[in-house]
């Protein structure tokens, strides 16, 4: 009698600096590629994985959610130990569980939390270079918070959508945009929403930085959204400052 198929769910953390993003491609190593190669070594056969978010080259993750189907009897802790022994040091599996058969990392997701980090000291920081955008200029925190408040809600976010985005609609709901200063030299933008367009969080972050540095007035954000024109918004912030923090699911699919 054949072994039943299990749906294995992973939570994966990675430093995306030297990776070409999540999805397999020809021009460089990716998270998906490394995971599939690691699973092929453990299973002795090809295994396809699916991720919750197609993070771009240079983007990091603390809580990327991944799933794959298998008839292997490897225990969940065996996957964690086995994959972490095979994967490069830039990628680690931090949780493993058996998920319901109908669970999909992408289509079961109810929302995501992204964080954009800025380093605002005059001098650069070698320690934070890989994980933040160095802006050695004063940032008006109050103005950025005012601008951020105009982004909360359900809107057509075409103004914050990169060219080449293949999403069928630009309508998304942002539930929170929090701008905080963990220390005198750091500023963090936390964005939560139901889904995001290509480069959307990086364009939001770049626009808020333009507000903080005085190039865009905070009260013009509603007009930028309403324009539905990428040229109306600010710059696209570099990938290195962006981290996928968490993916949210309904209670039946929450972490176990």
Give the CATH number, domain containing residue 158. Answer: 3.30.70.660
pLDDT, tens digit, 9 for 90 and up, residues 175-184: 999 999 999 9
Percent of the chain with pLDDT over 70: 97
Residue with tokens 């008006």: 140
Tokens representing residue 58 in the block: 């240079």
Catalytic-role residue among 56, 184, 190, 219 = 56
Domain match, 225 and 241 both: yes
Cα atoms in the Cβ-side hemisphere of radius 13 Å centred on 61: 30
Domain match, 226 and 237 both: yes
Give the CATH number, domain containing residue 94. Answer: 3.30.70.580
Residue 173's domain comprises 110-247
The whole-angstrom separation of Cα 202 and Cα 26 is 24
How is the chain classified by DSSP, letter by letter?
-PPPPEEEEEEEEE--TTS--SS--TTS--HHHHHHHHHHHHHSS----EES--PPTT-EEEEEEEEEEE-----HHHHHHHHHHHS-TTEEEEEEEEEPTT--TTTTEEEEEEEEEEE-SSS--TTTTTTSEE--S---HHHHHHHHHTT-EEEE-GGG--TT---S--EEEEEEEEEEEEETTEEEEEEEES---TTHHHHHHHHHHHHHTTSS-GGGHHHHHHHT-GGGS-PPPPGGGEEEEEEEE-GGGS--
Structural domains of the chain, count? 2
pLDDT, tens digit, 9 for 90 and up, residues 202-219: 999 999 999 999 999 999
Last residue of a domain, one of 49, 80, 107: 107
Radius of gyration of the chain (CA): 19
Residue 15 annotated as catalytic: no
- Residue 255 pLDDT greater than 90, yes or no: no
Last residue of a domain, one of 39, 72, 107: 107
- Residue 256 pLDDT greater than 80, yes or no: no
Domain match, 177 and 79 both: no
* Closest among 5, 105, 119 to 63, alpha carbons compared: 105
pLDDT, tens digit, 9 for 90 and up, residues 7-54: 999 999 999 999 999 999 888 999 999 999 999 999 999 999 999 999
- The reported pLDDT for the residue numbered 128 is 87
The whole-angstrom separation of Cα 32 and Cα 40 is 12
């Amino acid at each position: 009698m054949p072994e039943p198929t299990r749906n294995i769910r992973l939570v994966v953390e990675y430093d995306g600096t030297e990776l070409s993003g999540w999805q397999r491609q020809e021009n460089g190593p990716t998270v998906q590629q490394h995971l599939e190669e690691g699973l092929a070594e453990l299973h002795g056969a090809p295994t396809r994985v699916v991720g919750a978010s197609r993070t771009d080259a240079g983007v990091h993750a603390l809580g990327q959610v991944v799933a794959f189907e298998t008839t292997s009897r490897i225990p969940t802790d065996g996957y964690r130990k086995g994959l972490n022994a095979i994967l490069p040091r830039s990628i680690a599996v931090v949780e493993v569980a058996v998920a319901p058969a109908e669970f999909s990392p992408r289509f079961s997701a109810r929302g995501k939390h992204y964080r954009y980090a800025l380093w605002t000291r005059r001098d650069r920081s070698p320690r934070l270079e890989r994980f933040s955008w160095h802006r050695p200029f004063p940032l008006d925190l109050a103005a950025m918070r005012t601008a951020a408040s105009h982004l909360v809600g359900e809107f057509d976010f075409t103004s914050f959508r990169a060219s080449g985005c293949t999403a069928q609609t630009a309508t998304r709901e942002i539930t929170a945009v929090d701008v905080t200063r963990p220390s005198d030299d750091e500023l963090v933008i936390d964005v939560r929403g139901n889904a995001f367009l290509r480069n959307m969080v990086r364009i939001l972050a770049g626009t808020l930085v333009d507000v903080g540095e005085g190039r865009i007035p905070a009260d013009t954000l509603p007009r930028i959204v309403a324009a539905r024109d990428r040229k109306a918004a600010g710059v696209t912030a570099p990938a290195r400052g962006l981290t996928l923090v968490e993916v949210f699911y309904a209670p039946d699919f929450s972490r176990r």
